[in-house]
Amino acid sequence: MKGLIRLADSSKNQNTSEQKLQLSRRGFLKTGAAAAALGVLGAVKAPSKVAAAAVNNYEYIPPGKGQWSKLRPKPNYGGASVRLAEHNDQWLGTSKIVGTVNKSKESDMGFTLAMEGKLGPKAQAGFYTIGLRHPLSDAMGMAIAPISDTMWVEGHTRPEKLPIPDPEQMSMHIKDVAYYLRADEVGIGNMPEYAYYSHKMQPSMIGVIAGMVPKGTPFEDVPYEEKLPYVIVVAVEQHLETYLASTGYDGISDSQSFRSYHATANIALIIAQYIRGLGYHARAHHFGNYGAVMAPCMIAAGMGELTRTGDTVAHPRMGYRNKVAAITTDLPLVPDKPIDFGMADFCRVCNKCADNCPAEAITHDKDMVEYNGYLRWNSDYKKCAEFRAGNDEGVSCGRCIKVCPWSSKEDSWFHEAGIWVGSKGEAASKLLKGIDDMFGYGTEIVDKHKWWLEWPELYKFDY
């Protein structure tokens, strides 16, 4: 709880400090100070027109003709300098593989450990009441539960195949469908075999959240054997202004997740059913019924890189202020390449998520370590899940999302330029981190954006 106490102490003068911060930001951008600050970009050999560089993504190499959609002919990387990476036996994007990567069981995930009482009685009791502690989250959990049944995620495939375009044009079309269904980002990847769960858990976690599975119900591991060659990943942003007005661990933080989970679930279910209607196999994977771990799927589909938080993937524009769902399929497609926008270098010097984690679950280590056959930062997912499930000062936690410099920026040329700087190596990353701290980005609470209702008395629970 030390982190929470620290945050509470720092919030005493938030209204005044926020007003000062907003004035200083506006004054900074209206004067020549912004341009002067960007003059330091010469040290990282930036192009002469920084704003243009941010918008046009210098160093970005477009994929083949027809691979991006007609609705979104260029990926929106928010100013980051993006390079294409490879997918092979030694690397998944920029994640280095140093041994055998074993499939995981769904029951090994942090929240499922909390649900089964393996992270202590408070975390277990908290997880069984997590939806009830904010009525909006409860409503969204109830909306996700009915569309989590196997009949929805797996469905039935048309026995005869309909004529389809070539794989390149089909990839463009699938992305058009995703954007038409209101996805904020979509990518296609070669499905890493180790991304599939080895075992699914029954009953499901969403049944607990929706209040349909009583505490004490025994759970069992059921072998999961799907193997399809491609994965389509769809992302929906969590609302920026709401995050700016949130602590990151109040009731709306949980609702932010549920809103995006529900939105991506609907998109994935529709796309999966559409593909099955064309005569190809497709399985939707969403919060109510995953058959795979989303992080390696995201990396394979060119949707981001691993971060200091452990197995969480950040997108160049959204950071990890988003939720995703996926569709695995044998529909002939052309995969995107994984991307490299300097996240490892940035996380190595930033530490902002670790400094502000209420659970102290995020490591301050400089370098990654081996974990299950690949390199990642040694953050403690069990400690994270224990705090999120048992948090009685709010509902769950998204503090790391709020404070991350890649997640907490409103849309502007200056911020696009800053993100371009941050993707240019460790020295440039230190510069962006310093500017971020100077303006208080991520750690402030912007009251003018608060629109929701809170009932703190519901945060407390018996255990």
% pLDDT > 90, the chain: 63
pLDDT at 22 over 60: no
Residue 231 has pLDDT above 50, yes or no: yes
* pLDDT average, residue stretch 61-88: 78
**How many other C-beta atoms can be found within 10 angstroms of the C-beta atom of residue 63?**
16
- Average pLDDT on 248-252 reads 92
Question: What SS3 state is found at 130?
Answer: coil
Q: What is the pTM of this model?
A: 0.86
What pLDDT was estimated at residue 60?
A: 42
Between 421 and 90, the higher pLDDT residue:
90
More confident position, 264 or 416: 264
Residue 302 has pLDDT above 90, yes or no: yes
Residue 190's pLDDT band (cuts 50, 70, 90): very high
Give the per-residue pLDDT at 409: 73
Lowest average pLDDT, out of 290-294, 364-368, 437-441, goes to: 437-441
Q: CB under 8 Å, gap of 24 or more: what pairs does 148-154 form?
A: 148/204, 148/206, 148/265, 148/286, 148/288, 148/289, 149/289, 150/289, 152/269, 152/284, 152/289, 153/269, 153/272, 153/283, 153/284, 153/285, 153/286, 153/289, 153/291, 154/283, 154/284
Residues 103-116 as b or e (16 or more Cβ within 10 Å = b): bbbbbebbbbbbbb
Per-residue pLDDT at 309: 94
Q: What is the mean pLDDT of residues 4-21?
A: 38
Range in 34-48, 324-338, 410-424 the model is least confident about: 34-48
